């Protein structure tokens, strides 16, 4: 089955700096890669996703890059703010069918210091 590795497990940055979280996956059939943000005690919320036919996607301060050859994808947050502090999870899945499911990384605790 799919295996997703996520690094780092914790990341501390100063407000205004950039943050980068990296993930690798094992199943070359995976073609959908979402990123979720989870604040303490809250539900995971989708912040951005990318599909395998695209190499990069950007939404304001958040961007995701995908390298299918190397089987890794990354989340980039620019101009970080204290409210960006949360746990971020990457995930990978195939596109559909009865075997569809998301496999999550172990998460990255991001702390943005004012």
Partner 1 sequence: GAVVSQHPSWVICKSGTSVKIECRSLDFQATTMFWYRQFPKQSLMLMATSNEGSKATYEQGVEKDKFLINHASLTLSTLTVTSAHPEDSSFYICSAREGGGTGNIQYFGAGTRLSVL
Q: Which residue has the tokens 């996520």?
A: 6
Interface contacts to partner 1, rule CB under 8 A: 32, 34, 36, 41-46, 49, 89, 93, 95-96, 98, 100-107, 109
- CB closer to partner 1 out of 19 and 91: 91
* Tokens describing residue 39: 């604040």
Nearest to 68 by CA among 30, 103, 94, 100: 30
- CB closer to partner 1 out of 9 and 18: 9
- CB closer to partner 1 out of 65 and 103: 103
Min CB(29)–partner 1 separation in Å: 14
Min CB(43)–partner 1 separation in Å: 4
> Which whole-number Å values give the CA distances from 47 to 33, 74, 99, 107, in the listed order?
11, 13, 24, 14
């Amino acid at each position: 089955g799919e295996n997703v590795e996520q690094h780092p497990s914790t990341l501390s940055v100063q407000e205004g700096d950039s943050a980068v979280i990296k993930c690798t996956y094992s199943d070359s059939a995976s073609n959908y890669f979402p990123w979720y943000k989870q604040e303490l005690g809250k539900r995971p919320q989708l912040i951005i996703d990318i599909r395998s036919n695209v190499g990069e996607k950007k939404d304001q301060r958040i961007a995701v890059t995908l390298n299918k050859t190397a089987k890794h994808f990354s989340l980039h947050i620019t101009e970080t703010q204290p409210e960006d502090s949360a746990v971020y999870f990457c995930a990978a899945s195939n596109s559909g069918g009865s075997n569809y499911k998301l496999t999550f990384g172990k998460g990255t605790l991001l702390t943005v210091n004012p």
